[in-house]
Amino acid sequence: MIPDVKINSISLFSLGWLRESIDFPTPQSQTNTVVVPGRNAPIRFAEALGRVSYQPRSFSITLSMLGSRERFNQMRDELGNQYAGKLCEVVLSEEPDLYAVGTLELEPGYDPLTGKGQMVLSCSDGDAYRYHIEDTEVSMTGGGTLILVNDYMPVIPTVLTTAETALSWNIGEDVFKKSVSAGTWTFPELELQAGQNTVRITGTGTTTFRYREGRL
């Protein structure tokens, strides 16, 4: 398989670019500490909200081509007009089910001695998480217990009900209950964590949970 990158669903290999290298590091956590006189350890706020928060994702992708200066200029302008300074979805061929989101900056260069052109795509403000290409959708008709499996990123699902429905779930030792009519709903308390999440359903209609998973 030839290494490739897709930006907004367009393959750059199909546009004549070869992917030379990628630098896609894991984003760093947001760390904030306070040193208190008399204490031997600082107060750490990395998990102040009960979970780790992350800084924006930075990454870079180096592309190349062989050809004339005129051909390089044409390919450079094509990328610049489509992506320079724009918020884009980036998919690597090694992980086709995930995409990253960020603003792209382009840095072109051309060596007339070798006839090689190069383009560096860089991002410094990307979302910390990479997202699944497809939404996850889980449905149940009637009542029962439903297991919602989620990737690492916490997410609040959209709930669609076709009839009057009662929902209940636990977060730690807290129990939450909601009774709703037919419609589309979101409950801030229903935040899915990594792994299996259990929701109990009482009703006769079809209840559907739809959410987009993500990971670092």
5-132 is classed in which CATH architecture?
Answer: Beta Barrel (2.40)
At residue 30 the predicted structure's pLDDT band, cuts being 50, 70 and 90, is: confident
For the chain, what are the domain ranges?
5-132, 136-215
Chain segment 138-183, per-residue pLDDT in tens:
999 999 999 999 999 999 999 999 999 999 999 888 899 999 999 9
Distance CA(119)–CA(61), nearest Å, equals 8
Model confidence, pTM: 0.87
pLDDT at residue 47 in the model: 58
Which CATH number is 136-215's, of 1.10.3720.10, 3.30.70.1170, 3.40.50.1470, 2.60.120.260?
2.60.120.260
Average pLDDT of the residues in 32-55: 72
Q: Write the DSSP symbol of residue 187.
A: -
Rg (CA), the chain: 23
